[in-house]
Structure 1
């Protein structure tokens, strides 16, 4: 049971003074379908499955009052949000810090081949120490992505108010690194998180901690993506004793 005046909705504490972040992975790309590590290779767009996923994005997010959309500069992310964002009348903000991992010499190679590389075991078991030959390290990726997300979250909150919703469209490993940070996981645990193509994950940052509301959601229920109602009181406290579901009041 919450403290007097505290309101809980759908299993997570109502929070104020912060926006709601929807982390959207791009829809399935041609590289995803062929088992190739696309990285930052030019010209990698969506395959037929990805095009269908992107076309359904508007329906999935219908009713979610999105105020801002930030995207990776890579084609597959821009294609994922293009039609949906146009329908919202928004201009996407491109941020290089949300770009795919720079896999360096691994870029464009088959995943099946990469599993034979000695570095593969490091990527799987000790990713915080993984630095791709000629590319960047996963710890660098997390640092830039988390910095970008928190900066945009503050911007959206200041510009559109504490109940705003915004979307960041990025890549699997980038989103996993942001979620690991939000969950308080060491980066070495980020391989335990699954982020499928065109999935959404939801994070709300507060003064003391982030709250992870959804992870890897590919369905159509948007209720968990909606911001708290304006009359709800701000709190950085977590629910003690577990969730009571969609309960209002103490």
Structure 2
């Protein structure tokens, strides 16, 4: 299977305001977020991309716009990668929400959390993981096992995908940190995903590109191994 870059959108106008933006319309990037979006072009310069998939919300579309233009890639909008529907919590201050009884559930047992008038976090994980795996299978079929693609989504959505890839219960997903404009990377195989990076802010991501097959194997479509290296990876050989 292919390798997916899980990109959280750049810093939005809501991120610094202490307000839960959710799916509120017209929440875009602030000046820092715009700079982060522009920097993606150079950060990913060493990574060939087979596709761009994005949440339908404005802040995600703005984040990948410079990259899409620089690469001449079309952006595919995927509703299942949209932000959590926080329902009645949308637009409220986080310091106020922290006093709600549900806040402790979200922190300690997120799999049981259902936002009033919105959706549950378990549903978020189900829809997001299904979307990622479907797009990954499609891109693999079109471009091969060595393909790399990028999706742009939201913090809790990406955390739920990473929890699944790590084999963790959703109740542990609050242990994962995903900052604005950070990159996490998962390589899917037939039997298991491999998590290559989490919350990465580095300026060079060329190391996530799968190595090219050895010359004697290039005549056939060799699949990337699903086996983990005993003793730990020895690093790239190219």
Which TM-score band applies after superposition, normalised by the shorter structure? over 0.9
Q: What's the counterpart of residue 104 of structure 1? A: 87
Cα distance, 1:225 vs. partner?
Answer: 2.1
Gaps of 5+ in 1: 1-17
1:58-207 aligned within 5 A: 58-207=41-190
**Conservation of the 8 A alpha-carbon contact between 1:44 and 1:75:** yes
Cα distance, 1:247 vs. partner?
Answer: 5.2
**Conservation of the 8 A alpha-carbon contact between 1:27 and 1:198:** yes
CA–CA distance in structure 1, aligned partners of residues 14 and 201 of structure 2: 20
What is the TM-score normalised by the length of structure 1? 0.90
**Conservation of the 8 A alpha-carbon contact between 1:163 and 1:230:** no
What is the TM-score normalised by the length of structure 2? 0.94
2:227 pairs with 1:237: yes
2:17 pairs with 1:34: yes
Gaps of 5+ in 2: none
**Conservation of the 8 A alpha-carbon contact between 2:164 and 2:170:** yes
**Conservation of the 8 A alpha-carbon contact between 2:12 and 2:30:** yes
Relative CO higher for 1 or 2, CA cutoff 8 Å, sep ≥ 6? 1
Q: What's the counterpart of residue 32 of structure 2? A: 49
Measured on the aligned residues, the alpha-carbon RMSD in Å equals 1.2
Cα distance, 1:86 vs. partner?
Answer: 1.1
**Conservation of the 8 A alpha-carbon contact between 2:113 and 2:120:** yes
**Conservation of the 8 A alpha-carbon contact between 1:101 and 1:141:** yes
CA–CA distance in structure 1, aligned partners of residues 122 and 73 of structure 2: 32
**Conservation of the 8 A alpha-carbon contact between 1:213 and 1:224:** no
CA–CA distance in structure 2, aligned partners of residues 135 and 246 of structure 1: 44
Report the secondary structure of 1:204's partner residue: strand
Larger mean CA deviation between 81-90 and 216-225 belongs to 216-225
User: Number of aligned pairs?
Assistant: 231
